[in-house]
Structure 1
Amino acid sequence: MNTEVGSPGLNITIFAIFVAVTLVIVLRASRSNRTAADYYAGGRAFTGQQNGTAIAGDYLSAASFLGIAGAIAIYGYDGFLYSIGFLVAWLVALLLVAELLRNTGRFTMADVVSFRMRQRPVRTAAATSTLAVSFFYLLAQMAGAGGLVALLLGVTDRGGQGVVIAVVGALMVFYVLVGGMKGTTWVQIVKAILLICGAAVMTVWVLAQHDFNLSQLLGAAVETADGAAGLLDPMNQYGASDTTKLDFVSLALALVLGTAGLPHVLMRFYTVPTAKEARHSVTWAIALIGLFYLLTLVLGYGAGALVGPEEILGAPGGVNSAAPLLAYELGGTILLGIIAAVAFATILAVVAGLTITASASFAHDVYANVIKKGEVSANDEVRIARLTAVVIGAVAIVGGIFANGQNIAFLVALAFAVAASANLPVILYSLLWKRFNTSGALWSIYGGLITAVTLIVFSPVVSGKPVNPATGRSPSMLQDVDFHWFPLDNPGIISIPAGFLLGFIGTRLSKEFNAPKYAEMEVRSLSGAGAEKAVRH
């Protein structure tokens, strides 16, 4: 296959236009950043509809657009399971987390978890978990950037793709340093609208080529894949053995439970003025996200039918190239450039949201409340957050270079597993269990985090998968080594129950219980009383 798709010059021009527009948005938003609340939470000035659109922009990452479309094109029905899992997860966030979290916290997840605990150890643990989840999520976005630009510019060597990843990292840091949460939110709103509109146009175009008959489209995808009827059957990817069936259950648990523990999603609940608006923003986000995931079904099978699995797997970026290749097949160079620029803007917006969340967690939780014990000015806190963003950007660039070539929907599933193992148990216990205490929080966070990360490190994701004849490379992150002993790709089936169990054990081993603080938290979380006063300080 020709490694250069479309016109690199035109692709770069369209990229530059999109980047310029988003930079203007960020610079305009930065003018009103005066306080820590402005930088961390956008001044809590966004409506539920605006925040819901921004949540959709934050959530519909490169994994949703590039990774899921590719997974459906190659694996069919099993690839669509990612869409289902990502969407159903929002019901958990809506019913259990959104309103209670908004009423109880100020800027970060640690504000909620440490409300009735000993502040310093719990904030440190929560910040550590936030940084870990953000890192895994950033890996996916960076890998998506490398594969996407490699396809558009014909960059086939990994060194050149590494340069691309470094450029994306530098842009992301600039967005965060200048725009803060306000700039990031507006970029996410614009990006969500562009992404959904672009996907809708491609969906109608694909259906038009198949007489608006979904059955005809599915049949064409099977025919292009040399009669692989498994594209339409469940368990095509996950039903080959008992191990892959377990992997499916593990993946499903991670996807459904992970969203309610993602720090960059949780932080968005603080950008609205009231708990009612937080609830409204989640329902709005569910509508937009659900619409988009229905479109991915057509895009995935459309790529399978019009491009073909062999050409997708042979392209720079591999499975992540399905959506851009479909755009090229439909509308040539112009549509490819537009869709790829939207995907690039998607990556920039998501990594900016992740970076500001991670940097805010370190500055607000570790620096301000642990190191300085609350004796720090808002300006100093924001300055540390900006310095942290630079460090996170550098780490994300290095990690993204190693993760380049992995399916990004799959990489995001690892972040969901870590979030569901380390964050969700402690959030639910803090909000809903009267007996929960500091010991339980530490056991839950560190136990879930260490279990999940350890199992990932020693899984086939990192080392040990056989070489793919089509690419000449192993799908594992590290080549030519094999130190894996955990058989599953996703650790959720072990690490998520471990997080809940360890939180229970840790709590029972300690007699600590702050009854007045629990009563205050319960009233605030359920009614919002006292929450508005707290967030103004």
Structure 2
Amino acid sequence: MLHLETSASPGEPWLNIAIFGAFVAITLIIVFRASRNNKTAADYYAAGRSFTGGQNGSAIAGDYLSAASFLGIVGAIAITGYDGFLYSIGFLVAWLVALLLVAELLRNTGRYTMADVLSFRLKQRPVRIAAAITTLVVCFFYLLAQMAGAGGLVSLLLGISDGVGQAVVITVVGALMILYVLIGGMKGTTWVQIIKAVLLIAGAGVMTVWVLALHGFNLSTLLEHAVATAGTPAILEPGLKYGVSEISKLDFLSLGLALVLGTAALPHVLMRFYTVPTAKEARKSVVWAIWLIGIFYVFTLVLGYGAAALIGADVIAAAPGGANSAAPLLAFELGGPILLGLISAIAFATILAVVAGLTITAAASFAHDIYASVIKKGKAEPGSEVKVARRTVVVIGIVAIIGGIGANGQNVAFLVALAFAIAASANLPTILYSLFWKRFTTRGAVWSMYGGLISAIVLIIFSPVVSGNETAMIKGADFDVFPLSNPGIVSIPLAFFLGWLGTVLDKNLESPEKQAEMEVRSLTGVGAEKATEH
């Protein structure tokens, strides 16, 4: 079993940096090569719609399997057992919602962003502004989580424990992200995500086989070892984290609702459907993503219980980075400094790829929805939209670096939960109503988006993750009047209700011709290709 002083860093920091540097160098070369064809908005935002379903599915997996998926879930399983694995189930089941309700219809109806779909048959200006605001807020908080995660990981992987050193690393990650997106656009970003997905799944696969080999390829033996190390069979049973009280059970229901419904409304995932040439390829890309993500989450089960068995929850919790250190510590236990170096480089690659995807989504939303559609009223000069998008990338990157440094050491789970809750509350009701309810009006869309956005943020501000306990974001403060850590169970139904209420109270009916056109296009794809050419 690994014995580690809480101040020590396993492995060789310089080896970790060298391996990470090699990854950055290789991917930068690929990004430069991919950037040669970035001439039009379709090239920059949607990679010229040149990716196959398989390639896009791999990129979606790369986008979706963030540092929270790899490090967070393995750590959650290692410490809370069965309840930790429920995160994996929530993240995976969510893709069925995306596949069955959103992917194909969205690809048929839009061009570059989520707002294209929402404003198709509604009034352009109010809907695009609302959609752009929700997109920017979701991307910003997701970015904060990744940047803060980068700072937290540094303490374990590179042996840098002081705040200044971690701030430098967050700045480096942010600068690389800006470089990737400025040069490569969506095509370069997509190739980085495909490479990262392959590396992450391969690395997790090697560690999974290794852990199983140590236990005679018998999962029961591994689980018995984990129970013996933990000293309690509770890690194999539900309730270690979410069964303590009735509130915690309700909290889990709320979290599950946010995870399952939030995924189908994450702007950076939805934008991926526009990088394929047809709706059929969009559907195929989701099927690919489900397979890749599903296989990866099976790996996390073995890795989580492997860390619990070979290292122990107490050692993991005491290490720099806490629960997030479970996967790197397991890598060090299995393969020493070399495997730790590879896994730490993959963890950094994960953060880089995800922040690049988030940044281009936020930039596209501002440049396409606010600048080209609202300010220029659809008459932007050729090339000017891409220039605005590139400038936006720099601004978003700088804001994310500053925010990441400010959020360093804060509760990262709070930031991720906020991103998912906002996506599920502000975006999903409007997407579903737009696609499936003919009577839906502009007022319903605006009420639903702003209502979902504001209620999710307000409820989290007054929840236990911000104040009222030792692990809260603001220590010493106490204004947690809302008892649940995740607002999904309240804010998501509220957003659906507001969308319905705004519509039934709205006397101004939308154009029946536009409604009919949207229905035909979303279900058949007729007219979709014409809309994507200009």
TM-score range, shorter chain: over 0.9
1:520 paired residue number = 517
1:12 paired with 2:17, answer yes
For residue 520 of structure 2, give the secondary structure of its aligned residue in structure 1: helix
For residues 116-515 of structure 1, the aligned pairs below 5 Å read 116-225=121-230, 227-405=231-409, 408=412, 411-466=415-470, 475-513=471-509, 514-515=511-512
- State the 1:139 CA deviation: 2.0
- C-alpha distance 409-280 of structure 1, shift in aligned 2 (>3 A): farther
Q: Per the alignment, in what secondary structure is the counterpart of residue 31 of structure 1?
A: helix
Tell me how far apart the structure 1 counterparts of residues 168 and 78 of structure 2 sit (CA, whole Å): 28
2: CA distance between counterparts of 1:343 and 1:492? 29
Structure-1 separation of matches of 2:279 and 2:50: 13
Which residue identity lines up with residue 482 of structure 1 in the other structure? Answer: D
Q: What's the CA shift for 1:312? A: 1.2
**Deviation per residue, 1:195-249 (Å, 9 max, x gap):** 1000000001111111111111112222222x13221111210111111111000
Is the Cα–Cα contact under 8 Å of residues 114 and 267 in structure 2 kept in the other structure? yes
Give, as a single letter, the amino acid of the residue that structure 2 aligns with 1:63.
A
> Is the contact made by 2:411 and 2:473 (CA closer than 8 Å) also made in structure 1?
no
Letter paired with 1:496: I
Alpha-carbon contact 1:125-1:442 (below 8 Å) kept: yes
1:87 Cα offset (Å): 0.4
Give, in whole Å, the separation in 2 of the partners of 1:318 and 1:21.
31
Which is further off, 398-407 or 428-437?
398-407
Is the 8 Å Cα contact of residues 411 and 472 (structure 2) preserved in structure 1? no
Give yes or no for contact 1:150–1:316 (8 Å, CA) kept in 2: yes
Does the CA-based 8 Å contact 1:154-1:316 persist in structure 2?
no
Return the TM-score normalized by structure 2. Answer: 0.97
CA distance in 2, matches of 1:483, 1:408: 20
Deviation at 1:8, TM superposition (A): 1.1
Q: Which has the larger displacement, 382-391 or 175-184?
A: 382-391
Paired with 2:310 and 2:435, the residues of 1 have a C-alpha distance of 49
The alignment yields a C-alpha RMSD, in angstroms, of 1.3
d(CA) in 2 for partners of 1:217 and 1:408? Answer: 30
By how many angstroms is 1:343 displaced? Answer: 1.1
Distance in 2, matches of 1:297 and 1:144, equals: 21
SS of the aligned residue for 1:216 comes to helix
Q: Indicate conservation of the 8 Å contact 1:320/1:408, yes or no.
A: no
Query: How far off its partner does 1:407 sit?
Result: 6.3
Distance 2:105 2:61 in 1: 20
Aligned-residue offset at 1:157: 2.3
CA distance in 1, matches of 2:76, 2:386: 40
Equivalent residues of 1:402, 1:478 under 8 A apart: no
Match in the other structure for 2:528 = 531
Does the 8 A contact of 1:155 with 1:316 survive in 2?
no
Structure 2 CA distance for aligned equivalents of residues 311 and 396 of structure 1: 32
| Distance in 2 between residues matched to 1:324 and 1:407, nearest whole Å | 20
The DSSP-based 3-state class of the residue aligned with 2:304 is helix
What is the alpha-carbon distance in structure 1 between the residues aligned to residue 335 and residue 221 of structure 2?
A: 21
Gaps of 5+ in 1: 467-474
- Give aligned-pair identity as a percent: 73
The whole-number CA distance in structure 1 between the counterparts of 2:461 and 2:381 is 39
CA distance in 2 between counterparts of 1:264 and 1:110 reads 13
Classify the secondary structure of the residue corresponding to 2:264.
helix
Preserved CA contact (<8 Å) 1:67 1:410: no
In structure 1, distance between residues paired with 2:33 and 2:475 = 45
Contact 2:90 2:259 in 1 (8 A): yes
Deviation, structure 1 residue 465 = 1.8
The answer to whether the Cα contact below 8 Å between 1:3 and 1:156 also exists between their aligned partners in 2 is no
Amino acid of the structure 2 residue aligned with 1:485? V
Q: Report which stretch shifted further, 230-239 or 214-223.
A: 214-223
Are 1:109 and 2:114 counterparts? Answer: yes
Secondary structure (helix, strand or coil) at the match of 1:261 reads coil
For residue 470 of structure 1, what is the aligned residue in structure 2?
A: none
**Counterpart selection for 2:30 from 2, 25, 36:** 25
Pairs aligned (count): 528
The one-character-per-residue Cα deviations of 1:134-168 (angstroms, maximum 9, x if unpaired) are 11211221122112222122122233222211211
| C-alpha contact 1:66 1:408 (8 A) present in aligned 2 | no
Which residue, out of 62, 66, 79, partners 1:74?
Answer: 79
Alpha-carbon distance in structure 2 between the residues aligned to 1:309 and 1:80: 15
CA contact (8 A) 1:319 1:407 kept: no
Moved more, 478-487 or 266-275: 478-487
Instruction: Give the whole-Å Cα distance in 2 for the aligned partners of 1:378 and 1:43.
Output: 16
Distance 1:478 1:391, change over 3 A: farther
Distance 1:260 1:342 in 2: 26
Partners of 1:385 and 1:224 in 2: CA distance:
52
Indicate conservation of the 8 Å contact 2:95/2:264, yes or no. Answer: yes
User: For the Cα contact (< 8 Å) 2:118–2:430, is it kept in 1?
Assistant: yes
CA 1:464–1:403: 2 relative to 1, 3 Å? farther
Query: Deviations for 1:35-68, whole angstroms, at most 9, x for unmatched residues?
Result: 1100000000000111011111111111110110
Q: CA deviation at 1:406?
A: 5.3
Structure 2: which amino acid aligns with 1:86?
F
Quick one: distance in 1 between partners of 2:486 and 2:453? 14
Within 1, Cα distance between the matches of 2:167 and 2:314?
25
Structure 1 residues 518 and 221: CA distance shift in structure 2, 3 A: same
TM-score (norm 1): 0.96
Does the 8 Å contact 2:414/2:465 carry over to 1? no
Distance 2:138 2:496 in 1: 17
Greater alpha carbon shift after TM alignment, 506-515 vs 85-94: 506-515
The answer to which of 387-396 and 435-444 deviates more is 387-396
2:69 aligned partner, one-letter code: S
8 Å Cα contact 1:82-1:409 kept in structure 2: no
Query: Deviation digits for residues 148-192 of structure 1, max 9, x if unmatched?
Result: 222122122233222211211111111111110000000001111
For residues 486 and 530 of structure 1, what CA distance do their matches in structure 2 show? 47
Instruction: Decide which moves more: 137-146 or 449-458.
Output: 137-146
For the residue of structure 2 that corresponds to 1:423, the secondary structure is: helix
Letter in 2 for 1:415: A
